[in-house]
Structure 1
């Protein structure tokens, strides 16, 4: 789905200025453990299946909807892998719209479907091995893609800031 009426309304008011955008992203793996990435075909770098959280929508609902729209797969979020945001997660779209994402990244399990995008935002879908991940539009740390039995959520922060707080 293209931009929702809610975000269109905001864009009409603020133009291309920076917009804070709560979002979700999905790590979807195939039977080989490869990770699914999306290419929009408009010159942007590759991305995870991802998108904005809509009004009234929980992050887990949003990731199910976004993955279905962009891939044709029905998924169930299994684990919250990480939460990201701040200036490192600012992005400018080819049309000049600026956003600063606050992203909830979920590990998702496919329950049905075949790769077939339901919207016009996806030109190509491809699974990649961890060692061959394409250049990404969003700077996720590599650890978020590694399969493990960890039970902790990855939180992004500046180590210097954390050290300064702990010394107070």
Structure 2
């Protein structure tokens, strides 16, 4: 079922939910990280999103990477599952979530960057010592913990 979270929100409103999804780290040949300037939160983050009914976490990563960036990857290297109070987030419109994130690194990436889903204001690669502001908290946690920025 597409748009599972939207359907769920119709029933429960903005109350906190546990939101399971995947986040994808794309590293360029120059060792820069792909970040997305998100239209819903007006900050920079890593590509990714919520799992739909019937999807595996890797399928979620594959779909979200393509939808949000236009890129595809032959390999999704599993890094870790992140959860807990540090991954609480309240969207500007009031929805509250406790994220459970399957973190993947995309390998053998192909395609050209494109923004067609309305979720991105910009897509750009950044070096770890020159990250944009504002960088959303989940991206900070991931980059500090796994990529030593």
Distance change >3 Å, CA 11–CA 42, structure 1 → 2? closer
What is the CA–CA distance in structure 2 between the aligned matches of 1:23 and 1:103, rounded to whole Å?
5
**Residue 72 of structure 2 corresponds to residue 74 of structure 1:** yes
Query: Among 125, 128, 131, which residue is 1:130 paired with?
Result: 128
What is the CA–CA distance in structure 2 between the aligned matches of 1:49 and 1:131, rounded to whole Å?
19
Structure (1/2) with the larger strand percentage: 2
Distance change >3 Å, CA 83–CA 91, structure 1 → 2? same
| Cα offset, 1:44, TM superposition | 3.1
TM normalised by structure 1 equals 0.79
Task: Report what 2:87 is aligned to.
Answer: 89
State the number of aligned residues: 144
> Which is greater in Rg?
1
Specify the SS of the correspondent of 2:120: coil
Runs of 4+ with deviation above 4 angstroms: none
C-alpha RMSD of the superposition: 1.8
Task: Report what 2:52 is aligned to.
Answer: 54
Q: Is the 8 A contact 1:63 1:77 kept in 2?
A: no
**Map 1:93-132 → 2, pairs under 5 A:** 93-132=91-130
Task: Report what 1:161 is aligned to.
Answer: none
TM normalised by structure 2 equals 0.88
Q: Which runs of 5+ in 2 are unaligned?
A: none
Distance change >3 Å, CA 110–CA 73, structure 1 → 2? farther
Q: Is the 8 A contact 1:45 1:137 kept in 2?
A: no
Q: Is the 8 A contact 2:41 2:91 kept in 1?
A: no
